[in-house]
Chain A
Amino acid sequence: MHARSRSISALLVGLVATVLTMTGSAANAAPVSHAGESACQKPAPRNDDTIHIQGCLTDLREKPPKPVPDVKFTVEDDQGKAVGEGTSNASGVFDIALGKSIDVLGNTYTVKLDKKSLPEGAALRNPKQVALKVTPKLSSDVYVTFPIGDAPAASAGKFTQGLQLAVGGLVFSLLLAMAALGLSMIFGTTGLTNFAHGELITFGALIAYGVDALPGTITIGGTNVTIAVSIIVAAIASAAFGWVNDRALWRPLRHRGTGLIAMMVVSIGLSIFLRNVYQYLAGASTHQYSQFSSPRPYTLGPILVTPKDIFIVVFSTVILVLVVIALQRTKLGKATRAVADNTALSAATGINVDRVISVVWIVGGMLAGLSGVLLGMTQGFDYQLGFKILLLVFAAVVLGGLGTAWGAIVGALVIGLFVEVSTLFIPAELKFVGALVVLIVVLLIRPQGLLGKAQRVG
C-alpha cells in the first residue's frame, strides 16, 4: 500500500516537474506570443444570412507575421464555375461572399490562390496546396488558411526530404506510443480491447483546451505558463477519467463475469456516447491552443525543427521512460506484469488485482490524455481527434505484440515513422492506409507481433 502510493506520487511529481521545466525552457527558447493573431484583424462579424469565405495571409518568416496584401483568390463551385473572387487587403485579410446560406450549405467550393500574385520571394509552405476545398456545413463563415513562408526546397534530395519527414514521424510516433502503451497495458491486465481509448485521447485535448480558453493567462515569474498548466491539469484529469472509467464501468462488468466480446461491444457504445458528448460540448470545429501557434523553426543541417517538436520529443520520451522503468523496477510495476501474465495466479499470491488494474487505468488514462494534448498542439484538434488515430494505435499495439509494454512503444515508432516517411512514395492522403496495410501484413506473417512471445493466439 505504502510502496504503491509512494511510487505513484513519485511518478506524478516527476511528471509535474518535467512539464514545468520543459515548457519553461521551450517557452524561453521561443517566446511566441499572440503576435500571430494580432497581425490578423478578423473582419467584424456580420449579422446576416450570407456565408463568406474568409482568410488571412501572413508571411510566417517574419516575426510578428507580416500581412501579405494584393493576393488574388477565386472561388469555384463543384462544376468549376467561378462564383466569386477577392484580393487580400493591407492587413492580409480577404473576404469573398458566396451568397445566402440556404443556397450555399452542403455545396463544395474550391478556393484557389493565384500564385502569380504572391509577392516576390514568398511562396506557399506547401507549394502543391494552391487550392482548398471547402464545404460549408453551418451557417457561419468559412475560414481558410494558406501558410506562406519559405517554400520547402523542391529540389532537395529524397534523402533530405525523408529526414525532414522522419522528424515529423518521430514526433507523431512518440505521441502514438503514449496512447499505445496505455491501451496495451489495459489489454494486458484485463483482456479488454478498448475501442473507447480514442476518447481518452480526445479527453486530454479537450481539458487542456478548456484550461487554455479560460480568460486571462497564468504566469509564473513573468513567463506565460498557461499551456504548461493546461498540460498538467489535463494529465491529472485524464488520470482521474481513466480511474472513473474502470471504477464505474469496467470493474463492475469484470465482477459480473461479462465476456470479452461483450465488453468490446460495450466499449464501442461508450466510444459513440463520449464522442457525441464531446461534440455536444466543444462543437464540430477544429480548435487550436493559444500558445505555440507559429513557432519559428531552428535549422539543423538540412532540416527544420520547431521548438515544439523538440519539446514534444523530449517530454514524451521522459514520460515513456518513466512509465517503463516503473513497470520494470517498482513493486507495483512487477505486480502489473504479474497480473498481465496470469491473473488468477497473481491473485493467489496476494496481489490485489483490482487495485493493480485501477492503477493501470489511471496511468493509461494519463498517457492517453497527454498524447491528446500534445497531438492537439501539433495539429489542432476536434472532437474526433482520438477516434481518427484509434486504428493507428491499434496497429502499433498489434505490431509490437498485444499486451507487451516495449512492444507497444516499438510498434508505435515503426507505425509513426512509416506513416510520415511513406509520403515520399505514396500520396499523403493515403499515408494511414499504408500503416493499416502494414498491420494486416504483420498479422499474416507474425501474428504475435514483433516483440510478442511466439504462442498460439487462435
Chain B
Amino acid sequence: MDWHAIFSQSLQQGLGPVAAVYCLAAIGLNVHFGYTGLLNFGQAGFMAVGGYAVSSFVATWGLSFWLGCLVGLGAAAVLALLLGVPTLRLRADYLAIVTIAAAEIIRQTIGSVTLLKLFGGQDGLQGFNQSFASLNPFSGRIGIPGVVSWRPYDFWTLLVCWGMAGLCCLMVWALMRSPWGRVLKSIREDEDAVRSLGKNVYAYKMQSLVIGGLIGGLAGIMSALQHSAINPSFFATDTTFFAYTVLLVGGAARVLGPVAGTIIFWFLLSFLDLTFGAATSGANPTLPEAIMNSNQASLMRFIFMGLALMLLMIFRPQGIFGDRRELALDAR
C-alpha cells in the first residue's frame, strides 16, 4: 500500500473545500445544539434553502448572483422562523422530529418533477457560479509540493470557505462571551431557571435558531459553489448527521470545536476509504474478494463512522476538546 499517497490525499480531504463546508454547517449546529441545546436535525434543510436560492436565482431566473446570496441567507432565516414558531415551545425531541421532517419536505419538493423547471428535479442545476469563479485569482495547482495540492478553483472555494468559517467562529466567540450568549448557555442548562429570572426564553431560542440557520444557509451556498452544481442528494438526512458527527468529534460548545472536528472527521473518513480501497483493489488484494469487494470497501468508512458516533456519545460526549462540565446534554 502506498501510505504516502493515502496520507496526503486524506490530508487534502481534511483541509479541503468539502471539510470547510461541513465546518460551516457544524458551526451553525454548534449555536443551536452546543450553546442553546436545540436539537436541530434539519440542518440539511437550511443548507438546501440557501444553496437552491442562489443557484435558481442565477440559473433559472438569470438574476444577480450576489442578490441571490442575500436571498439565500434571508430564506434560511425565514425557514428558522417558520420552524421555530410551532416547535420551540415544545420538548426537545419534538423539535428534532419537526426539523428532520422539514428538511425532507424541502429536499423532496425541490427534487420533484413538478418543480423541474425551477430547480431541475433530481439532476439539479449547474452553471450559476461564473460571478464567483471570475473572482478566482489563482491559476495552476496550489498547495505544499509533495504533500497536498488543489486545483485553482478548489483552492479558491477552500480559501473562501475557511475564511467564512473563521469569521463565523469569531462571531460565535464574540456572541457567546456577551451577556446574550450567557443567557443562551443557561437556557441549555436550565430553561425554567432562566424563565424565572424574567428572560423571554422563547425569543432567545428563536434568535439562536435564526443565527445558526443563517450559518447553515451559508454552508449550503458554499456547498453549491464548491461543486459548481447543486442537486437534492447533497441535502439528504445523512448530511445533517455528518455535521453532527463533525460537531461532536471536535466538541460541542467550543468555538473551534467544529474546525478541529471537520479536519479530523474528513481526514479519517478519507483515510479509511483509501485504506480499504487499496486493500481490496488490484489483482491480488490484501483482503480476499470473498470477505470484501471494492463496493463493500467503500462502505467500511460509514460503518466505522456510525460506530464512532455511538462510542463518542457514550464515552466522551464532550468530544476531543470539549468540557464535560459545561455540557450536561440532557433532555428537558
Contact = CB atoms under 8 A, between A and B. Distances in A.
Interface in B126-147: none
Given A440-B86, A444-B86, A391 B101 contact: yes
Contacts of A276: 299, 302-303, 306
B67 interface: no
Most buried by B among A274, A276, A439: A276
Contacts of B87: 443
A458 B88 CA distance: 8
B104 A432 contact: yes
B114 A443 contact: no
A269 B303 contact: no
Contact of B98 (A280, A427, A443): A443
A433 interface: yes
A327 interface: no
A294 interface: no
B186 interface: no
Nearest to B307: A273
Interface in A242-273: 249, 253, 256, 258-262, 264-266, 268-273
A269 B313 contact: yes
B97 interface: yes
Interface string B305-332: 1111111111001000000000011110
Contacts of B300: 280
A262 B299 contact: no
Contacts of A344: none
**Interface footprint category on B:** 35 or more
Nearest to B83: A440
Contacts of B310: 249, 266, 269-270, 273
A432 B108 contact: yes
Contacts of A274: 306
A136 interface: no
A55 to B, nearest CB: 21
Contacts of B238: 272
A432 B94 CA distance: 19
A429 B112 contact: yes
Interface in A388-447: 391, 394-395, 398, 402, 427, 429-430, 432-433, 436-437, 439-440, 443-444, 447
B174 interface: no
A70 B238 CA distance: 44
Interface string B241-264: 100110010000000000000000
Contacts of A398: 94, 97
A236 B249 CA distance: 37
Contacts, number: 140
A268 B101 contact: no
B90 A258 contact: no
Given A258-B314, A280-B299, A440 B244 contact: no
A87 interface: no
A8 B306 CA distance: 33
Contacts of B214: none
B308 A269 contact: yes
A186 to B, nearest CB: 13
A44 B302 CA distance: 35
B5 interface: no
Interface residues of A, number: 50
A419 to B, nearest CB: 13
Contacts of B86: 440, 443-444
A358 to B, nearest CB: 20
Contact of A272 (B123, B241, B311, B312): B241
Nearest to A444: B86
A381 to B, nearest CB: 18
A430 B112 contact: yes
A430 B114 contact: yes
Contact of B296 (A133, A268, A272, A280): A280
Given A279-B299, A436-B104, A440-B102, A261 B90 contact: no
B307 A269 contact: yes
A457 B331 contact: no
Interface string B42-81: 0000000000000000000000000000000000000000
Given A261-B330, A427-B114, A443-B87, A394 B313 contact: no
B236 to A, nearest CB: 10
Nearest to B87: A443
B295 interface: yes
A108 B123 contact: yes
Nearest to A437: B105
Contacts of A283: 295
B89 A458 contact: yes
B91 A458 contact: yes
Contacts of B245: 269
A277 interface: yes
B90 A447 contact: yes
Interface string B180-210: 0000000000000000000000000000000
A191 interface: yes
A138 interface: yes
B39 interface: yes
Contacts of B98: 439-440, 443
Interface of B: 37, 39, 85-87, 89-94, 96-98, 100-102, 104-105, 108-109, 112-114, 122-123, 238, 241, 244-245, 248, 295-296, 299-300, 302-303, 305-314, 317, 328-331
Interface of A: 78, 108, 133, 138, 191, 193, 249, 253, 256, 258-262, 264-266, 268-277, 279-280, 283-284, 391, 394-395, 398, 402, 427, 429-430, 432-433, 436-437, 439-440, 443-444, 447, 457-458
The list of the 10 closest CB pairs from A to B, nearest first, reads A273-B306, A269-B309, A272-B306, A259-B330, A260-B331, A269-B310, A444-B86, A276-B302, A436-B101, A458-B90
24 contacts: A78-B123, A256-B314, A260-B93, A261-B37, A261-B39, A261-B331, A262-B314, A262-B317, A268-B241, A269-B307, A270-B306, A272-B238, A273-B302, A273-B305, A398-B94, A402-B93, A429-B108, A430-B109, A430-B114, A432-B104, A436-B104, A440-B98, A458-B91, A458-B94
